[in-house]
A and B are shown apart, each in its own frame.
Chain A
Amino acid sequence: MTIVDPIKETAPVDPNIVNITINDKPVAARKGELIIAAADRTEDFIPRFCYHPRMTPVGMCRQCLVEVETPRGPMMVVSCMTPVAEGQIVRTATDSVKKAQEGVLELLLANHPLDCPVCDKGGECPLQDQAFSHGPGESRFVEEKRHYEKPIAISDIVYLDRERCILCDRCTRFADEVAGDALITFTSRGNDTQVLTFPDEPFSSYFSGNTVQICPVGALTAKPYRFKARPWDLEQTESTCTSCSVGCRTVVQSSRDELVRYQGVDIDPVNWGWLCDRGRYNFESVNSPDRLTTPLLKSGSELVATSWSVALESAARMIRLALAQNTNSVAILGGARGTNEDAFAWAMLADKLGINQRDAQLGDGLSPDIFDLAQATIDQTCAAPTIILLAPDLKEELPVLYLRVRDSAQKRKSRIVEFSSHDSGLTPYAWRTMGFEPGNQAQVVREALATPEMKEQLARGEVVVVVGRANLAESEVFTLQALAEIFAAVPSAKVLPVLRRGNVRGAVAAGLTPQNNSGDAIDILNAAAAGKIECLILLGVDPMSDVADSGLVQRALTQVKNLISIDTMINGSNRNADLVLPAASYGEKNGTTTNLEGRISNVTQKITPRGTSRPDWMIATELSIAMAVDIGVSSLEDLSEKLVSTVVAFAPSSDGKSTNGDGVLMARETPVTISGKASKAVDRNAYNYRLVVSRTMYDSAQSTASSPSLVGIVTDAVIFVNPLDLARIGVADGTSVRVGAEGTNIVIAIKAHNGVHRGVAWLPFNHTGVDIRPLLNIASDVVDVRIEPIK
């Protein structure tokens, strides 16, 4: 008679589960998992410095030694390099393990300066904490410790104290493996190993701040936080970054009611703990002394401080006057900076007043129809065998999405098919890069996708198109046309729309998008320039610096009779406004935001709004009362309730808790298909260059320009051409040339760039120095320029 084990009989064995015991307790681990990762799901903490769950294990620090049972008795192994195996018996706290861990710590501390009282890391330092929890308590080291010049600036932002470094390889691994900027490395390996940059080549990575966050000691510190606060003085709250539309999860930390630091939070679907430097350090702009603290009302030619009641009455009067003409004489631009609730409150107000002309984009995005196509999440994109890029340079505009896509191309064998007019940050990782001249992308896409090699690749599985507006000097029509070509070749493709503004997706879903077939932002500006708009409301936007065609904005703003701006600071657009209302900034208000994939997650308040500034939704509510069209909202909770019950897309966030942590995806309607409008760009005169204008990470955007640590990184405007074209123009690299289009000229330095295709000239947008916008005419489909040497 056989004895049947009922458990074995009924439960199917999962081939991906490996059963081990850690300190005599059974643990179900995943196949291939490391012991330390499995132990992290138990209560037994294994000390570590070099191990980081998002990077390749290297076994540098040896702190995670544990005992594993072998046929020859217990053996000491580093748990960050040893994968689990069926039946493995692990002990993390035996006497010999403790002795080994104490020994490693004593060794690490032998060269460590122990300057904890003056070290920024003191209080949140893994070395300090684990010296207490797993250290020997006393050192036998009586000799002189090593001394280095301290600190040395390895970039504009990051400082290095080499004495404190324990050589864990976290920062150098991050730079190489995650960011792809191997600008710091171990040098003089041996007795004098130290982390350094190449002489005179700083660690100018867009992601350098992450190395500071993951440094397990105080060796790397960041300029914006150095000596600003001690960890035990910090208060923190979890939030979502809205600097761009990736929506990285962060903790916002403050001390004495002032923001002092953001740290990345690891969530699986989005940022994996990483942040870009712009998002990490632009908190300085929230603390800027230039923040508006009271409403400002125009009196004569000056803006004069006034009270909220007077300001709201004035706003109501201005809008009412304009509405008395007709509903088309009022328009709202912006709203992508705020929360979903902010946008919804303004949309409700606009609905009540019958204002159809509203747009959260500024003519530099794509038609909101893009959100109605079959959508992919970031995770789905990164899991797809084929990722087609028809998008701006992700490294510049959506940096953490770049990290994710780069990772999937490097490690997960996704293949990137890139269509671009100049090389992007992802070009080195692309499987195929197809260059096009602005205007002919549809043709290039059609031909490229028809090759047998490409057809085979597209048939390998899911195809995700990352689509956005890559060029401000070209009509969006061409991108949509190229997208339609992709759908013609791959009808099952999904899109990941990459529109860069923080909450553009939420603002559009909440209703800040043209209604009843009225025009978009550019149409609004054209109408304003033609004198048809009496009252223009700028909801946290600065079109003077953000719209490609500055001439149009200039004409529009001068023609508008009453300009109302709701913003955090005075900028080029609201300098001559009739009324400026101070808005509460990021970190000063609660709500939810929506990222580019439609993920709704919360943003939380940490500090008191500056002066009397208020969140946008509150301004909308008060204004509705002042205009006697009450939108019926008395609190943020009220508003959220209304939002999730009125707008279907937001229904999944009705449970307030769902917007914590990973957040929740928007509800989606049945996807529609796209058909591109046939359009053809004029042929380029062979003597001219077709202009590509795109954004870079550090430009003169308000949040960068008002962050002292970042503003110095912004470079002067330069025009880039292919080296062969530079030779044809006949000037030396770096000299000034005259660039002209349709009767306008600018003088600007020219540089050769191997990544720019022939016949194309690339101009980064909104940099310091020369203003390039006079060249741009939003009415034309493409912009061709002449480039001439200055005699």
Chain B
Amino acid sequence: MSRLNDTNIKLAHEVIARYPRPKSALIPLLHLSQEQNGYITREAMQHLGELVGVTSAEVYGTASFYEMFKFEPVGKYLINICGTMSCALMGANELMHHAEKKLGVKAGGTTPDGVFTLAHAECQAACTEAPTLQVNYRYRLRVTPADLDRLIDNLRDGKLNDEFPPHGVLSKVRQSIDATRAVGAKAPEDVNESPAWLDGKAAL
């Protein structure tokens, strides 16, 4: 099943209610769907389209803009090795070759057991700590081949489950907004007062 499950449908309706228009909730819902399934499936996009009232094509058009939404199955751990200038100078290419040998897949591939996906990444904005990599978008810095071996072994043995949730999980603690603290969802055309920064002047 790659439509949202019952728990997530309930959550989805909560998320939708936070916005003036249902389709504004599309990106949070795509994350929710990726968290549930590990990647964005066709059925998931169709379901989200039904939930927010847009066509499946529009869901796909939105989702496909974002590199972090995957449309093919991804391993439990997505390892992104940075290959941009600073990291390249500090041995990122050698690190990638080492990872390819260690995992037995080329960059972009997923191990047959579905645990690891290895990918090349552009600058991860941590140049002082080169070479860097990310496991499910969580950093490891100044990585040596030996570090990488240890990391992969530990991930495989489940020793790092606390630090690295499976691919798709955004955070371990779910954000929740108390109804009394919510600003309320009002469509722009229904807002009659001018925004605070306009200081009492007529709305634009």
Contacts and interface: CB of A to CB of B under 8 A. Distances in A.
A185 B61 CA distance: 6
Given A198-B45, A199-B42, A189 B64 contact: yes
Nearest to A188: B64
Contacts of A199: 42, 60
Contacts of B42: 198-200
B65 interface: yes
B46 to A, nearest CB: 8
B58 A182 contact: yes
Given A198-B45, A199-B42, A185 B58 contact: yes
Contacts of A189: 61, 64-65
A480 interface: no
A197 interface: yes
B56 A186 contact: no
A182 B65 contact: no
B123 interface: no
B57 interface: yes
Contacts of B45: 198
Contact of A201 (B54, B56, B64, B65): B56
B54 A187 contact: no
Nearest to B56: A198
B154 interface: no
Contacts of A196: 57, 60
Contacts of A137: none
B64 A182 contact: no
B64 A187 contact: yes
Contacts of A186: 61
A97 interface: no
Given A198-B45, A199-B42, A184 B65 contact: no
B55 interface: yes
Interface in B59-75: 59-61, 64-65
Contacts of B65: 188-190
A214 to B, nearest CB: 19
B60 A183 contact: no
B60 A182 contact: no
A167 to B, nearest CB: 13
Q: How large is the interface on B (under 10, 10 to 19, 20 to 34, 35 or more residues)?
A: 10 to 19
Say whether chain B's binding surface is mostly helix, strand, loop, or mixed: helix
A184 B64 contact: no
B64 A198 contact: no
Nearest to B55: A182
Contact of A183 (B46, B57, B64): B57
Contacts of A181: 55
B60 A187 contact: yes
B43 to A, nearest CB: 11
A184 B60 CA distance: 10
Interface residues of A, number: 17
Interface in B61-116: 61, 64-65
A782 B55 CA distance: 37
Contact of A184 (B54, B57, B59): B57
Nearest to A176: B58
A767 B45 CA distance: 32
A198 B54 contact: no
A182 B65 CA distance: 17
B55 A187 contact: no
Interface string B37-59: 00000100110000000111111
A183 B56 CA distance: 8
B42 to A, nearest CB: 6
B55 A183 contact: yes
Nearest to A180: B55
A198 B48 CA distance: 13
B68 to A, nearest CB: 13
Contacts of A197: 57
A200 B43 CA distance: 11
A186 B61 CA distance: 5
Given A198-B45, A199-B42, A187 B61 contact: yes
Contacts of B56: 198, 201
Interface in A172-209: 176, 181-190, 196-201
Contacts of A188: 64-65
A720 to B, nearest CB: 19
A186 B64 CA distance: 9
A198 B64 CA distance: 11
Interface in B172-195: none
Contacts of B64: 187-189
Nearest to A183: B57
A316 to B, nearest CB: 59
A186 B57 CA distance: 9
A188 B58 CA distance: 12
Contacts of B46: 198
A44 to B, nearest CB: 32
A753 to B, nearest CB: 15
Contacts of A201: 55-57
Contacts of B59: 198
B132 to A, nearest CB: 23
Nearest to A172: B61
A657 B11 CA distance: 64
A185 B56 CA distance: 10
B127 to A, nearest CB: 24
B21 to A, nearest CB: 14
A189 B57 CA distance: 13
A182 B59 CA distance: 10
A239 B54 CA distance: 37
Interface in A150-189: 176, 181-189
A199 B61 CA distance: 11
Contacts of B54: 182
A422 to B, nearest CB: 20
Most interface-central of B45, B54, B57, B58 (chain A CB within 10 A): B57
A187 B57 CA distance: 8
A234 B51 CA distance: 48
A25 to B, nearest CB: 33
Contacts of B57: 182-185, 196-198, 201
B187 to A, nearest CB: 15
Nearest to B63: A187
Contacts of A176: 58
Nearest to B42: A199
Contacts of A200: 42
A687 to B, nearest CB: 32
A409 B31 CA distance: 34
A571 B58 CA distance: 43
A455 B60 CA distance: 43
Nearest to A200: B42
A4 B60 CA distance: 65
Interface in A639-682: none
A200 B41 CA distance: 13
A187 B62 CA distance: 7
A73 B55 CA distance: 46
Given A185-B61, A197-B57, 18 more contacts: A181-B55, A182-B54, A182-B57, A182-B58, A185-B55, A185-B58, A185-B60, A186-B61, A187-B61, A187-B64, A188-B65, A189-B61, A189-B65, A198-B42, A198-B55, A199-B42, A200-B42, A201-B55
| In the A-B complex, the 9 residue pairs with the closest CB atoms | A185-B61, A198-B56, A198-B57, A189-B65, A187-B64, A188-B64, A185-B57, A182-B55, A198-B60
Interface of A: 176, 181-190, 196-201
30 contacts: A176-B58, A181-B55, A182-B54, A182-B57, A182-B58, A183-B55, A185-B55, A185-B57, A185-B58, A185-B61, A186-B61, A187-B60, A187-B61, A187-B64, A188-B64, A188-B65, A189-B64, A190-B65, A196-B60, A198-B42, A198-B45, A198-B46, A198-B55, A198-B56, A198-B57, A198-B59, A199-B42, A200-B42, A201-B56, A201-B57
Interface of B: 42, 45-46, 54-61, 64-65
